[in-house]
């Protein structure tokens, strides 16, 4: 089993459907205090596929982000990576081997590697983890998850993280369908609200960084309404300024829905490879009856399709329709557009320092 890494420049990373594994994401996170590192990853097939003895190698890019926990200790974060996905039986072995291969390339005071895995959650494919209404009940307790993921590993050092960073649950829309088919797949109420918004005279346009203050007004309104963390105007400005804005890179479109010059809803549509991402959304507290957010979402879907994207990632929802989940309303709204719900594995930590990891784990539990 072979796993080797060769350092490269961030800008040498190939743009991919996986937005958090692009040069753009590395630049954004560098603005936020992370230290990005890029690698060419070489992996033999037998490390990925348990039923083969082939040593033929696959090559892929890997972006990691170094973040300091305090003045003396850091961790390595891998956003939606690695992109290479092993068979279920080899997940732990692959992550262990990759982590040990990464160790010489990381600061000596690195306590753990955190993988924010985009791989499908294995418990989301088992009938026992769904209720009678078809709602996914979620993965089992961490101890059971860790037992399975550490299967066949040499050291058993993989732990389910206390918290997750990027969305674990999302809806994917198939943009290879025609506009008529996409409308037909929507729930009746969603389709009705799209048409109602257009009849109300809602228009959707793309704006640049000169309108970032208008975006931020809507964002602050939304953040207070939903008890979300507050992000500064400059945070969103940097997203626009760091885009590649080319077919070979990442393109950001700040779309705003308005009526008679009044902005009622806005979103950041991010186009990377063949995937479109609904990265951030915001709306006004007033005039909800005009359904501006529905016109906005439909226009973004059409823009992504015209751009050449084949899928649309809604980028975050509740795992099911249970009403007590804080993202229940978001889930209902996004589900209405007819996508398929996908459950990712979320964050997993590989321990590099067994003695220090529990200390930082306890600190994270207090903050969660």
pLDDT in tens, 179-192: 999 999 999 999 99
Q: What is the mean pLDDT of residues 3-24?
A: 96
368 pLDDT above the threshold of 80? no
pLDDT value at position 16? 95
Pairwise CA distance, residues 13 & 263, whole Å: 37
pLDDT in tens, 304-334: 999 999 999 999 998 888 888 888 899 999 9
Q: What CATH number does residue 354 fall under?
A: 3.40.630.30
Pairwise CA distance, residues 28 & 21, whole Å: 12
Question: Residues 344, 349, 86, 92: what is their CA dihedral angle, to the nearest 10 degrees?
Answer: -130
State the DSSP string of 154-181.
SS--EEE-SS-SS-SEEEEEETTS-HHH
**Reported pTM:** 0.95
| Residue 89 falls inside a structural domain | yes
Dihedral sign from CA coordinates of 264, 20, 46, 354 = negative
State the DSSP string of 3-58.
EEEEEE-GGGSPP-S-GGGSHHHHHHHHHTT-EEEEEEEEEEHHHH-TT-----EE
Supply 67's token pair. 């973040």
pLDDT value at position 294? 98
Looking at the structure, do residues 226 and 140 belong to the same domain, yes or no?
no
Looking at the structure, do residues 162 and 26 belong to the same domain, yes or no?
yes
pLDDT in tens, 134-181: 889 999 999 999 999 999 999 999 999 999 999 999 999 999 999 999
Q: How confident is the model at residue 54 (pLDDT cuts 50, 70, 90)?
A: confident
Looking at the structure, do residues 148 and 238 belong to the same domain, yes or no?
no
Looking at the structure, do residues 133 and 44 belong to the same domain, yes or no?
yes
Q: What is the mean pLDDT of residues 70-88?
A: 96
| Residue 321 falls inside a structural domain | no
CA proximity to 130, closest of 341, 346, 348: 341
Pairwise CA distance, residues 136 & 321, whole Å: 9
| Residue 323 falls inside a structural domain | no
Looking at the structure, do residues 149 and 273 belong to the same domain, yes or no?
no
| Residue 219 falls inside a structural domain | yes
Domain ranges, residue 206: 176-309
| Residue 99 falls inside a structural domain | yes
pLDDT value at position 55? 87
CA proximity to 311, closest of 114, 118, 48, 165: 118
Q: How high does pLDDT run on average in the chain?
A: 95
Residues making up the chain, counted from first to last = 368
| Count of domains observed in the chain | 2
Looking at the structure, do residues 222 and 193 belong to the same domain, yes or no?
yes
Q: What is the mean pLDDT of residues 265-282?
A: 97
* Cβ 13 vs Cβ 63: under 8 Å: yes
């Amino acid at each position: 089993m072979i796993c080797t890494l060769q350092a490269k420049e961030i800008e040498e990373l190939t743009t991919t459907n996986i937005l958090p594994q692009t040069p753009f994401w590395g630049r954004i996170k560098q603005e936020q205090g992370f230290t990005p590192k890029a690698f060419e990853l070489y992996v033999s097939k037998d490390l990925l596929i348990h039923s083969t003895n082939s040593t033929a190698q696959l090559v892929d890019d890997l972006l990691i982000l170094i973040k300091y926990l305090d003045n003396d200790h850091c961790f390595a974060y891998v956003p939606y990576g690695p992109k290479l996905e092993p068979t279920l039986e080899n997940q732990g072995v692959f992550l262990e081997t990759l982590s040990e291969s990464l160790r010489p390339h990381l600061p000596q005071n690195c306590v753990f590697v955190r993988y924010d895995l985009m791989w499908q959650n294995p418990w989301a494919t088992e009938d026992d983890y769904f209720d009678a209404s078809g709602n996914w009940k979620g993965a089992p307790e961490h101890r059971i998850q860790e037992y399975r993921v550490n299967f066949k590993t040499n050291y058993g050092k993989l732990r389910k993280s206390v918290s997750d960073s990027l969305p674990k649950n999302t809806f994917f829309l198939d943009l290879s369908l025609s506009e008529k088919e996409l409308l037909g797949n929507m729930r009746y109420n969603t389709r009705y609200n799209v048409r109602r918004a257009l009849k109300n005279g809602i228009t959707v346009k793309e704006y640049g960084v000169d309108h970032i203050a208008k975006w931020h007004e809507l964002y602050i309104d939304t953040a207070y309404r939903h008890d979300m963390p507050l992000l500064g105007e400059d945070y969103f400005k940097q997203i626009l300024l760091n885009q590649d804005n080319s077919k070979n890179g990442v393109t950001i479109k700040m779309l705003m829905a308005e009526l008679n010059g009044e902005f009622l809803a806005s979103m950041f549509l991010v186009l990377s490879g063949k995937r479109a991402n609904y990265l951030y959304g915001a709306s006004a507290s007033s005039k909800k009856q005009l359904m501006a957010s529905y016109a906005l979402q439909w226009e973004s879907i059409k823009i992504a399709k015209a751009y050449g994207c084949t899928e649309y990632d809604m980028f975050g929802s509740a795992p099911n329709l249970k009403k007590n989940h804080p993202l229940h309303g978001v889930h209902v709204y996004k589900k209405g557009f007819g996508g398929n719900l996908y459950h990712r594995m979320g964050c997993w930590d590989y321990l590099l320092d067994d003695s220090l990891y529990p200390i930082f784990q306890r600190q994270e539990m207090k903050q969660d």
